[in-house]
Structure 1
């Protein structure tokens, strides 16, 4: 069943992101003709005869327009990348012992393994300062060539279309690579790695050029400056950098890359040591796409250092902008080092996203639909999501609350854990990338909550899988009646723990939602949209979904948080513009009028008093709200 679901999602991705107008027009013509013939045979044609005839008459015109539109769309170039042996079905790899990316007897290399099965994937040299310097220099030269190319606008679109085409044709391989390196399920990889990237690419193709068009501004409010036009132009910064986290190795890498390419930048990506193996495959895909489209593959670079050497990257003077996705402690180091080079940084950190369920919702809508949303929002990728549901705050009557708890408990109890990359077993949730100390922390937080009155209904501890005893598995957990001051209610869990709190009212629920130091995302569920809107205004977060979960991300809105969740935005129009030099340009509306220095204030100034009267009148005429005063000022300027 899990494999069937993975195939279904792959087909959905292909359907949603590969349609063009010609296909749509042909489908419409065929459907209309078939419907017309059926109705004629039934003798029920008359009520729709005129309208269908009109539609069928217009169909050829629509088809011609669609085909003309298609001619303006760059066709993707085809290329293939060898499938890594480790990503092939039923690959048999030896288990790494001990399961750690750092091996004391070989400190110069990063050891990669599958968190679910502990199978060894390969080792890679940790990059040095010289490696980073060379990567930045290669990217710099490639960017100059790329942006100065007369075909730049065409090639940037072609690269993105080529990537989109490759992803759609190779969904299973891409998902398998992500699963091997992160331990997630194929379904989770299809949703989080593939669909998210396809959406970003297609949104940029549809909206990116409009977002980067020069922005015409009103110009000066001064009456005497109305002959000037003002606009902001968006030009590439040069070489930008991205330090990305390990939870979504493909999506976290490709998102910054496609944004950088479309804005005319080169990019150097520093991946996490924990997903070094998959990152090598994904960067080879991007480089192949660049090459087949006639773009220097050095435009995109990949580096990976040990954490202790991260300053070599974040403080590099050759980077004009940094995007950091990670934790607050690491962010402090990144921002401090980037500050030495005066490099601007967008910081996307953790979250403690709350789902606020209002008093009216469970009463009017029941629990089944929202329970399914809660399950997906919590356990997707074993809870390792920055915008995953970390807290569920329920207001309203106890009977509805208990019904929701009962429904969720039954669902969580049926969750199956393991690895489905070889499709040898049906599972719902995979492994976590981090084990060991992370599991110790989760178990301590859960124990503390129970000691303060919480009910642990499911899970709550690590799980030793019979087939993968070294795998990083933690049991799907449901804990309810949680004190809002417990560590599990205030700290980012980043794991498969569904935490439920009760609130006496909707107002108290919002207060609880705002009570932590985080402010990334949230959601509000209410059958009264206007009430949900009012609560949304009071939530101190960067993103809110009303009657849904995290859809603001797929809608390509600017993404980022407040408080301890970071600052700055990526995604959407603001994300593209953030990778640009916003150049302010002012120029004359016509060659008939241009700036000259009036005699009274031309150096050397002949008469100081006269110069003062002139400037005072200039200010009066330019900024006084009274037209009478403006006229007097103009007279003064004219008569001296």
Structure 2
């Protein structure tokens, strides 16, 4: 009872603790990467701060918040948490996209000739700016997406800093030419694989993490020597402009062309001009399955390779032998409700074994009831969950919940849209707990991308894995327990591109390759695999000792007998070369090869 009464304080202190840990990690990264090489010291850059970040700013509240304006092609940007107008953005036209790609292509010619030290300096300059201006960056992300400051600190700042740190520390190793083995017949050759710049690459990114989704592919492309065109979502067009200006300022302050980074903001009907453009050499797409089909079909026109990262229905399997169910419940809360559930690797299904199923329902129910909705920029001490990007899917979410209840599920908390008394124009959905969900229900198979906690019972470890693998998606997964055999079985048998053991999504914080299988996409970004994926993988076979031996083509053979004899001499020479009993026989074999051309 005492735990329940103090739950709001626990949630608040949990957020404070997470924030402190994230800041500590950030400054550790700063000290390690920025201060350790005098030749790569970051430059100072200045970017004008948006007036909307001023605490005194008080924008107009839209009567009917929407990104579309009647009678205009402009993108109307507003804050989903309160409906305040952020500004208007003129969308790019096909001609504008052509100009942006042409600028990037021209700038990339010189950028491809830069050293890795020069590229690291740009990344360190960007890192320095982020560390010194993280409050502003987080505020911009919150204004445009409706998320809380804690969500912005973890999902935007921390992971972007980690990617910068990893690329600065390990990127050169990933792109260093790699020796490859040779064969006996080709032992006089030297083989290696190189990773070289592709030219101009593109990224079409989602709105749920406007800063990190923009910066992630940009960091990799710049380090590999390519230029990048980033198409941000029309839902976060306002922040995309600011984030692009950060990257361009970092380049300019280090003496490089800011045209290496181009931001494209357009309506969906224009996006195909970018994804089918012949001067784009690779596309990273982060978004939904329906849009991915259009992107893949469009890219196929110019045979442009695509890395597709789609949504998921990520399971968290809770085994019977967990030690601290309260601690695990905290992790599950973070995994489910971060960014109001709008997280591609968020926990969408909690699959629980029988012994702790009822206990977990009780704990989660109490905690979810205590969650407070609102704008953390206006009321930072009393908000746990932010707004959703829009209210367009609210009816669909309510329908899915009602359908599950009609089939036997129980909705213990929430279940419908929320009309905020302080922010009536904001887009809020009640934090929801739905239990006794079965695999046959629609809500267990369709991606929710919402603050809805779905709890599913499982009879055994095998049954839990079967449930986890029962959807078309396979992005990430989590498993909690202590028995090493059961943990190993789950990690081996669950269908996913990534798995966290006794944690949530930690693979993303250590720059492991990121991506899924099945309906969650294909390809990987992050880590060595991600860097190499946006390079031209070039195989090079060179002479090891050109002064001694090389490859030559024999002349035409006059008749079958001569052909057979010469073939036998060549073969016997090769055999003697490798397996002769002394050096003289090896030299004789080598001479026969040379003599016979």
Give the TM-score taking structure 2 as reference length: 0.92
Is the 8 Å Cα contact of residues 64 and 425 (structure 2) preserved in structure 1?
A: no
Q: Please tell me whether the aligned partners of residues 229 and 588 of structure 1 are also in contact (alpha carbons under 8 angstroms).
A: yes
Structure 1 residues 609 and 93: CA distance shift in structure 2, 3 A: farther
* Separation in structure 1 between the aligned mates of residue 42 and residue 371 of structure 2, nearest angstrom: 41
Residue 102 of structure 2, aligned match among 122, 137, 142 = 137
Q: Distance in 1 between matches of 2:362 and 2:543?
A: 70
Displacement of 1:8: 3.0
Sort the Cα spacing of 1:455 and 1:609 in 2 relative to 1 into closer, same or farther, 3 A: farther
**Separation (CA, whole Å) in 2 of partners of 1:514 and 1:253:** 31
Go from structure 1 to structure 2 and tell me whether the alpha carbon gap of 1:288 and 1:6 turns closer, same or farther (over 3 Å shift).
farther
Separation in 1, partners of 2:33, 2:472: 47
Counterpart in 2 of 1:611?
563
Q: CA deviation at 1:14?
A: 3.6
Unaligned runs of 5+ in 1: 23-68
User: What RMSD over aligned residues (CA atoms) do the two structures have, in Å?
Assistant: 2.4
Distance 1:336 1:136 in 2: 20
| 1:249-268 equivalent positions in 2, closer than 5 A | 249-268=210-229
| Cα distance change on mapping 1:607 and 1:314 into 2, 3 Å | same
Are the aligned partners of 1:90 and 1:422 in contact in 2 as well (CA < 8 Å)? no
Identify which of 143, 157, 163 aligns with 1:180. Answer: 143
In the alignment, structure 1 residue 216 sits paired with structure 2 residue 179: yes
TM-fit CA distance, 1:523:
1.0
Q: Which residue in 2 is equivalent to 1:119?
A: 84
Matched, 1:407 2:363: yes
Asked whether the equivalents of residues 13 and 168 of structure 1 are also in contact (C-alpha less than 8 Å), the reply is: no
Contact residue 617 and residue 636 of structure 1 kept, 8 A: no
CA distance 1:392–1:7, change in 2 (3 Å) = closer
Aligned to 2:4: none
Distance in structure 2 (CA, Å) of the matches to 1:303 and 1:232? 34
Contact kept, 8 Å, 2:160 with 2:216, in 1: the verdict is: yes
The match for 2:492 is 537
Out of 472, 475, 481, the position equivalent to 1:517 is: 472
TM-score when scaled to structure 1? 0.86
Rounded to whole Å, the distance in 2 between the matches of 1:158 and 1:537 is 40
Match in the other structure for 2:423: 468
Deviation at residue 240 of structure 1 after TM alignment: 0.2
Shift of 1:531: 2.5
- Pick closer, same or farther for the CA change 1:579–1:618 going to 2, 3 Å: farther
Q: Contact between 2:350 and 2:456, CA under 8 Å: does it hold in 1? A: yes
Q: 2:372 matched to which residue of 1? A: 416
Offset at residue 530 of structure 1 (A):
3.5
1:429 to 373, 381, 385: 385
Give 3-state SS (helix, strand or coil) of 2:537's partner. Answer: strand
After superposition, residues 35-184 of structure 1 pair within 5 angstroms as 70-72=36-38, 74-106=40-72, 108-149=73-114, 152-184=115-147
1:201 deviation in Å? 0.2
CA gap 1:612/1:577 in 2 versus in 1, 3 angstroms: farther
How far the C-alpha of 1:535 sits from its partner, in A, is 1.8
1 CA distance for matches of 2:498 and 2:564?
A: 52
Q: CA deviation at 1:628?
A: 9.2
Alignment of 1:306-345 (within 5 A): 306-345=267-306
- Aligned-residue offset at 1:83: 1.6
**1:191 match:** 154
1:312 is paired with a residue of what secondary structure? helix
1:249, CA displacement in angstroms?
A: 0.3
C-alpha change, 1:476 and 1:612, in structure 2 (3 Å) is farther
For residues 565 and 224 of structure 2, what CA distance do their matches in structure 1 show? 49
Q: What SS class does the counterpart of residue 412 from structure 2 fall into? A: strand
Does residue 17 of structure 1 match 2:29?
yes
Q: Is the 8 A contact 2:514 2:524 kept in 1?
A: yes
Alpha carbons 1:431, 1:471 under 8 Å: kept: yes
- Cα distance in 2 for partners of 1:265, 1:259 equals 9
Give the alignment partner of residue 453 of structure 1, picking from 402, 405, 408: 408
Q: 1 CA distance for matches of 2:451 and 2:471?
A: 20
> Alpha carbons of 1:481 and 1:586: their partners in 2 closer, same or farther (altered >3 Å)?
same
Matched position secondary structure for 1:95: coil
CA positional deviation for 1:455: 1.1
C-alpha distance 634-502 of structure 1, shift in aligned 2 (>3 A): farther
Q: Deviations over 1:335-369 (max 9, x none)?
A: 111001010000000101001112222xxx13111
How far apart, in 1, do the equivalents of 2:166 and 2:264 lie?
28
Deviation at 1:468, TM superposition (A): 1.0
- After superposition, give the CA deviation of every residue in 1:485-536 in whole Å (9 maximum; x if it has no partner): 1111101110100101001000000010001000101111120223311221
SS in 1 for 2:346: coil
Distance 1:119 1:617 in 2: 86
Taking structure 1 as reference, are residues 347 and 622 closer, same or farther at Cα in structure 2, changes over 3 Å only? farther
> Which stretch shows the higher mean deviation, 607-616 or 456-465?
607-616
Partner of 2:8: none
Deviation at 1:462? 0.4
Match among 323, 327, 330 for residue 372 of structure 1: 330
Alignment size in residue pairs? 578
User: In structure 1, how many angstroms separate the alpha carbons of the residues matched to 2:590 and 2:275?
Assistant: 59
Is the 8 Å Cα contact of residues 476 and 496 (structure 1) preserved in structure 2? yes
Which position in structure 2 is the counterpart of 1:279?
Answer: 240
